[in-house]
Amino acid sequence: MLLHSGETVHAQELSLASPTGTRSSAQGNTTGSDPAASVAPHGDPLLRQAAILTQITEGVIVADRDGRIAFVNDAARRIQGQAVLGVPVEGYSQTYHLYTMGGEPYAPEDLPLARAVRDGEMIECAEWRIRRADGTEVIAEGSATPLFDPAGEQIGAVLTVRDVTERHLLRQQLEIERARLREVVMSAPAFVAVARGPDHVFELANPPYYQLVGHRDLIGRPVREALPEVVEQGFIELLDEVYRTGEPFVGTEMRILLQRKQGGAPSEHFVTFVYLPLRESDGSISGLLAHGVDVTDQVRARQRIEDLYHEAERASQAKSDFLAVMSHELRTPLNAIMGFGDLLLAGIYGDLSDRQEDQVERIQASSRHLTQIIDEILTFTRAEAGTTEVRPEEVDVRQVAEETLAEVASTAKAKRVGLRLETPAAPVVVQTDRMKLRQILLHLVTNAVKFTKEGEVSVAVRTDEGGASVEVRDTGIGIAPEDLERIFEPFTQADQGLTRAYEGTGLGLAVSRQLAELLGGEIAVESEPE
């Protein structure tokens, strides 16, 4: 029907002229649903249109040339709560409580239908509030169009009206949710920005984003214009790709140069971010969201840590190289000393008195001790440098334990410390490096004997799932719980004062743990101080 198009409606579509002859007998107000009851007494041509207008889903209200309500269909009656016929449009305020969307009373002369009748004005999509007689309130949206006869004379106006209460409530809720979302975005600790269209025009940016790029004018400007320094850094191409494909992009610790002060030099930053496409209800992409964090401080801190780590590695390597060189240099004169000592004890240069022989044996013992220290240092430096080779073979752990106890037997006897070995009857065979296993056990047993004043040192060999375990126990001075891990540090003893009371470099346990890990095993300790 032309009533809904906003175009001129001629009398042959809907005649509101008052022809001579019979008139409808309907009078006054009515709330019935009979079409004839909703038509003012202004002629039969209108009655012929009433049945059609009554059945359409949009509300229809027609005023004649005098501004009186001539027709109200059922849909309009349901929206308003009742139908008023035969009264001027301005008289609506006496029956209905009409308000603007701002809550002010609607002036009768400003009603869309009144303006269409009075001024011949076409009003589109006006909104107002209706408070019905029963106290309920609806929000209506309507368009008013003047009606003309074939001669071009205005004969009235028509108002099409819809109940948009639900839509308005949804729109209100949407606005509330948008406001909440904006509040969340603006208070978020991460930076957030929204850009619209293929040119990526800034629509929103929160404080962390301004903090990142510098407090410059962004909103309403394309990214290329607002952030010209990023054009040659590949970020515009990333935005274009996400906008074109709809596939998000995640960047991790990406380097970006930003001119945060006008006229200043660009500063280096690192950002971790995601570009997300923003889609409309039809699935089309209308913009992009950038969300991320400035990780410049973290990246620089990690870089500094890495630099310090490399410096420490170089220093450690230098230390290891120094110890290795010095150890080799010390072995040459030490071997000579031990060689000449052996010659003296063999009587090559004549017989020695008992006192002389005792002194030479002391020299030999000290030389052997120094050799052991040098061997520990060499083993430690090789393990740190990763140059220690493993030569696996089938090894009877029980036999290695027996050899170890035999080697320290004289030292234990001199201190009056007993040695005890517990082993299974059958061999305990594993695939490992025999020499390194022996070195580990020798360190552990020697250490136990050294720190045991009286009592005994026991060695227990047991089969373990997939291998073997060796337990070394002693009745020595013990170790405090807080020192249990520290004893495995190089050049360290549980009590630094013990370094003088008990000989040693503090490398034995450190070397033992390194060798055990190299062989695929581990060393653990349990102890309590005396």
Question: Distance between alpha carbon 489 and the CA centroid of its chain, in Å?
Answer: 38
Residuewise pLDDT in 10s, the chain (530 residues)? 233 333 333 333 343 433 333 333 333 344 444 443 444 444 445 455 656 677 778 899 999 988 888 888 988 888 888 877 888 887 776 677 888 888 888 888 888 988 999 999 899 988 988 888 888 899 999 999 999 988 889 999 999 999 999 988 888 888 888 788 788 878 889 999 999 999 999 999 999 999 999 889 999 999 999 999 999 999 999 999 999 999 999 999 999 999 888 878 889 999 999 999 999 989 999 999 999 999 999 999 999 999 998 888 888 777 777 767 777 777 778 888 888 888 888 888 888 888 888 888 888 878 877 777 777 777 777 666 666 778 889 999 999 999 888 888 888 888 888 999 998 888 889 999 888 888 888 888 888 888 888 899 999 998 877 788 899 999 888 887 777 777 777 666 555 444 445 555 567 777 788 888 888 888 888 887 76
Beta bridge partners of 147: 156
Write the CB contacts of 457 (distance below 8 Å, at least 6 apart in sequence): 412, 417, 418, 419, 420, 445, 448, 449, 472, 473, 474, 475
Task: State the CB neighbour count (10 A cutoff) for residue 197.
Answer: 13
8-state DSSP, 265: P
**Separation of alpha carbons 102 and 199, rounded Å:** 37
CA separation for the pair 294, 352 (Å, rounded): 81
pLDDT given at position 361: 82
Please, is 389 exposed, middle or buried when counting C-beta atoms within 10 Å of its C-beta (0-12, 13-18, 19+)?
exposed
Give the predicted TM-score (pTM) of the model.
0.47
Residue in the structure block whose two tokens are 């449009």: 89
> What pLDDT is attached to residue 1?
29
* CA separation for the pair 177, 171 (Å, rounded): 10
Helix (H) or strand (E) holding 473: strand 467-474
Residue 447 is predicted with a pLDDT of: 84
Torsion of CA 323, 329, 333, 336, to 10 degrees: 100
CA distance 310 to 401: 40
